[in-house]
Amino acid sequence: RVIRVGTRKSQLARIQTDSVVEKLKELHPDVHFEIVAMSTTGDKILDTALSKIGEKSLFTKELENALEKNEVDLVVHSLKDLPTVLPVGFTIGSVLKRENPHDAVVLHPKHKGKCLDSLPFHSLHSNSYKSLLYLFG
């Protein structure tokens, strides 16, 4: 039996999908999983800030279309890319245990070699691109 797993072509999406497939293989060692990687609208838009487009399914729509057309059997999304309300007929089948959420720390050159505990009390921090845009416009 073959299960086709839809995912985006991005490196992060592939890593997430590989994790999902490994967990599925542990549960179903007799099943073969085929990864079907595809580009989404969000992957193709390189000249416009995604926040200005307003579309909520930039990274999910093509994958959902493939699922509806029976081109894949399941898809792997990053939860941050999903809308608050899923399209009719779709459901979240599983959520894996969250990995370490700490991505990166970027310090001003004047703080080179310092750790977070040694930064000034009111040091600026941000957790997303939108937050950075808000702060630095």
Q: Residue 74: count other Cβ atoms within 10 Å of its Cβ.
A: 16
Any catalytic annotation for residue 81?
yes
pLDDT mean values, one per 10 residues, the chain (137 residues): 94 93 96 94 66 68 92 91 84 86 74 80 62 58
Spatial contact of 18 and 86, defined as CB atoms under 8 Å apart: no
From the list 18, 30, 81, 103, the catalytic residue is 81
Q: Give the closest residue to 60 by CA, choosing from 47, 42, 74.
A: 42
The pTM score is 0.69
What confidence score (pLDDT) does residue 2 get?
A: 96
Domains annotated on the chain, with CATH:
2-81 (3.40.190.10)
